[in-house]
Amino acid sequence: MAQIPRAALDYLTKEINGISADAKTKVLRVLKELDWNDAPACRDAVVDVVNAVLDNYGLAAGQAAADFFDVSREMAVGEKLGATATADRDPAATEGAIRAFVDNVNDGDCDAFERLVLSRIDYEIKRAAGTTMMENAARDPLSPRFARVPSGGETCKFCLMLAGRGFVYHSKKTAGEFGHYHDNCDCRTVASWDKDGVEGYDPTAYHNEWLGRENFTIPEAKLTRYSLCMESERGRDKAIAFRDALGFTEEDAGEIMGQVYRWVGEHEPAFRESGKYGDSYTTDMVMVGKSGKTARVVVGWMKDHGKDKMRLTTIYVARRKG
């Protein structure tokens, strides 16, 4: 048995993203040439080109996933399955979506129509890759389990919920929610034949982050415009402390948010006091920075009267005693 290398999963994600980008580029060329004075003709032209592109590129994404499945299986059990690709497409559903998108053109917003069409292409291509993985797992006599494994820089809350479940599914039927994909989604459906799974995949951490995002709110601007912003008169000292102690700058706001969400998903903040606007709380945590640096970070929260979620009010690196 062997753990699936993270580099292999990252390569698959790069492949699928490249396939999606190429498909969107081809369709975008057609979209830019449309003359919407004849809306029905334009709509039909878009339906035809999108379905034609997805027939080819969806299958290409499926083949990339099938190749990954076979490589992973060979690493785990010493033998490939002979995985097959599928686009699992419903052209009528694609047409229905495009017809609905045309309402934006009727309202004079052609840019919105283009964005929605390109988003649909990305969704269907990533769905083809995920479906290929699930269908090959379902027909594998070794009955591998599969999981949703994040592989990008940011992961949406719904995907975090799925990722937090670990390798728990045996078939496409029992994993209905795995059909969820969205624009720029870098989560991959991955099969595993043993307990080793994927390098760096920690379902407990993803579950905690999901819990954190369910119960807490971190306005990104609190980081990028204040606590990590060297240009902020009031936040500069905090930004310097984050840089010196952890190597973090404005570009690392997403990483900081992820770590805070994971921490509060597992550790309840400490109550401080009640005030005019609500109850204040504090989190005292250990944050891991670049190159393995660690530092104590304090986070302030406010639970406004009548609200369920706590919102971040301040965050800073605690000064070292002595």
pLDDT per position as a tens digit, 24-42: 999 999 999 999 889 899 9
What's the pLDDT band for 129 if we cut at 50, 70, 90? very high
Supply the pLDDT for residue 108: 84
Prediction pTM value? 0.83
Whole-number Å distance between alpha carbons of 296 and 120: 43
Whole-number Å distance between alpha carbons of 183 and 159: 12
H or E element, residue 206:
helix 203-215
Tell me the pLDDT tens digit for each residue of 178-209: 666 776 778 888 999 987 789 989 999 999 99
Supply the pLDDT for residue 173: 59
- Strands of 270-274's sheet in order across: 216-217, 310-317, 294-304, 278-288, 270-274
Inform me whether the pLDDT recorded for 278 exceeds 80.
Answer: yes
Pick from 107-121, 135-149, 158-172: least confident: 158-172
Tell me the pLDDT tens digit for each residue of 75-118: 999 999 999 998 778 999 999 999 999 988 888 888 999 999 99
Compute the mean pLDDT over every residue in the chain, rounded to the nearest whole number. 91
What's the pLDDT band for 136 if we cut at 50, 70, 90? very high
For tokens 């690709």, the residue is 85
Residues 6, 150 contacting (CB under 8 angstroms): no
Whole-number Å distance between alpha carbons of 216 and 282: 13
Inform me whether the pLDDT recorded for 174 exceeds 70.
Answer: no
Tell me the pLDDT tens digit for each residue of 55-80: 999 999 999 999 999 999 999 999 99
Structure token pair of residue 256: 């900081």
Supply the pLDDT for residue 218: 96
SS3 85: coil
pLDDT > 90 in the chain, percent: 71
Residues 180, 162 contacting (CB under 8 angstroms): yes
What's the pLDDT band for 150 if we cut at 50, 70, 90? confident
Tell me the pLDDT tens digit for each residue of 2-15: 789 999 999 999 99
Whole-number Å distance between alpha carbons of 54 and 128: 10
Q: Which of 192, 205, 207 is nearest to 136 (CA)?
A: 192
Q: Which of 24, 40, 187, 53 is nearest to 116 (CA)?
A: 24
Structural domain boundaries in the chain: 6-141, 216-317
Whole-number Å distance between alpha carbons of 218 and 146: 31
DSSP 162-175: HHTT-S-B-SSGGG
Inform me whether the pLDDT recorded for 154 exceeds 90.
Answer: no
